[in-house]
Amino acid sequence: MENCLTTSIVWSKPWYRSRGVWGSVFAAVGTVYGLYATILPCGPVELFHNYAAAAITLYGAWLSFVGRRTASQPIHFLWRYQKEVLD
């Protein structure tokens, strides 16, 4: 049997439509939020903010992973371009 790899030409998609980019943004926001939560006074309010920061960071990490696994097009930041990708 022959190994048949096919390719196709696709257009890049804008960065704001990428799950990987948004996952990274959520992870960064969750980390900064967690740093903010450390300056709150001890008690249930601080505990709530710590758990919320951890949840946002974990969601961002998961979204980045899913976005990378399901990516079908390259992304662009300034202008569109065509790229040859494996099918």
What average pLDDT is seen over the chain?
Answer: 87
- What integer pLDDT is reported at residue 1 of this predicted model? 52
In whole angstroms, what is the distance from residue 29 CA to residue 49 CA? 13
Find all residues with CB under 8 Å of 80, minimum gap 6, and list them.
11, 12
Measured between alpha carbons, how far is 20 from 25 in angstroms, rounded to an integer?
Answer: 9
> In this predicted model, what pLDDT tens digit does every residue of 15-57 receive, in sequence order?
888 999 999 999 999 999 988 888 888 888 888 988 999 999 9
pTM of the model: 0.74
Question: Over 60: is that where the pLDDT of 7 sits?
Answer: yes
